[in-house]
Amino acid sequence: MLDFTTQTLPNPTSPEDRAAAMESLGFGTLFTDHMVTIRYTEGQGWHDAVLGPRQPIPLDPAAAVLHYAQEIFEGLKAYRLPDGSVASFRPEANAARFNHSATRLAMPHLPEELFVESIRQLVAADVDWVPDADKGSLYLRPFMFASEAFLGVRPARDYIYCVIASPVGGYFKSGKSAVTLWVSHDYVRAVPGGTGAAKCGGNYAASLMPQSVGIEHGCDQVLFLDAVERKWIEELGGMNIMFVFNDGTIVTPPLNGSILPGITRDSLHAVAQDAGYTVREEPYSFDQWMEDAKSGKLKEAFACGTAAVITPIGEVKSNRGGFIIGNGDGGEVARTLREALVGVQLGQKPDTHGWMTKLA
């Protein structure tokens, strides 16, 4: 594996300033002192792995990413465990998904060990930025983009891979926890054969305008339907979705090529099965959802992803009608599953699946 060069930071954040900055944590606004950068050049492969100060990246105005959006990313967290050490959750799954995304965007693979090592390097350097478990966690953002200066249309020959880190707040915010969803009947996020299953910035770009339509309707998030029939529930702009029925079964849409294979989704399957629930992957339509919510057959619905783990859905709106789910403020199953998964992530429950990787 590549050796990392460490560049020292001339004036790192003082412990006092860091403590003040970490007093109240949001999401993605505060960043640590360091970053990892690794370069790729066709014919040479990966080279110049550097752990250095977090700083702007000089980029040629013709860099391919700025024109043709060759960019992929990952999102995972490092948690402060009860013994003071730091671990992350299934980082090898993020590494594998990163390479699946790379394949779809015609980008080079990053060896999985190098992906995990890059996170280890950054967390070790910025370990003081990992919040205590009751305050939050350190969100890690690995990403890769085409840096070659070339306006012709073909896969670029030069890439930059980076990891940055952001201390983020806890899971249990006070106030109403359930969100209101806007179901987009007019716009889709992904199409069969498209890039929906790749974690690329372009998918997010496509989701932003529908997201603002949802916000105009007083909703927090947008739910996308399949692109062909505009009937089957797929996922949110950045989270997967699960449904809980009154017979105790849990249903989630199957990975059909346009849904992003969430690691939280996969882990919740396992956690739910451990807790005795039956989990089925099957297509579920918007019309059926509305009917089941109104009849009481549907008890709960929740979104899931690394950033918020589980977000209960209280209400659904669309230009074809809306409905309330359960009592409108989340349910028991979502709470139970979240506690079970977060318990493992924070090292408070046994890691029976071997999901945790010590980083520092």
Q: Of residues 240, 252, 318, 345, which one binds ligand PLP by CB under 6 A?
A: 240
Q: Residues binding ligand PLP: what is the number (CB under 6 A)?
A: 13
CB of 199 to ligand PLP, least distance (A): 5
210 forms part of the interface with ligand PLP (CB under 6 A):
no
Q: Which residue from 30, 86, 263, 325 is in contact with ligand PLP, where contact means CB under 6 A?
A: 263
Answer for which of 265, 269, 299, 338 binds ligand PLP (CB under 6 A) is 265
What is the C-alpha separation between 307 and 304, in angstroms, rounded?
8
Asked if 305 is part of the footprint of ligand PLP (rule: CB under 6 A), the reply reads yes
Nearer to ligand PLP, 4 or 224 (CB): 224
* Closer Cβ to ligand PLP, 274 or 291, answer by number: 274
Q: For the chain, what percentages of helix, strand and coil (3-state, to nearest 5) are there? A: 25, 30, 45
Under the criterion CB under 6 A, does residue 235 sit at the interface with ligand PLP?
yes
Sole binder of ligand PLP in the list 51, 239, 242, 290 (CB under 6 A): 239
- Whole-number minimum distance, CB 346 to ligand PLP, in Å? 17
75 binds ligand PLP (CB under 6 A): yes
Interface with ligand PLP in residues 159-188 (CB under 6 A): none
3-state SS of 130-192 is: CCCCCCEEEEEEEEEEECCECCCCCCCCEEEEEEEEEEEECCCCCCCCCEEEEEECCCCCCCC
Handedness of CA 247, 249, 253, 254 (dihedral sign): negative
Choice from 131, 142, 238, 314 touching ligand PLP (CB under 6 A): 238
Cβ nearer to ligand PLP, comparing 213 with 255: 255
Considering the complex, state which of residue 120 and residue 189 has its C-beta at the smaller distance from ligand PLP: 189
Residues 275-304 that bind ligand PLP (CB under 6 A): none
- Determine if residue 84 is left, alpha or beta; phi over 0 gives left, psi from -120 to 50 gives alpha, anything else beta: left
**Cβ contact 254:260 at 8 Å:** no
First to last CA, the chain: 19
Which residues in 158-307 belong to E strands, given as ranges? 158-169, 179-184, 221-225, 233-236, 240-245, 250-252, 279-281, 298-305
Cα torsion 203, 208, 214, 215 to 10°: value is 140
Question: Which residues contribute to the site for ligand PLP (CB under 6 A)?
Answer: 75, 199, 235, 238-240, 260, 262-265, 305-306
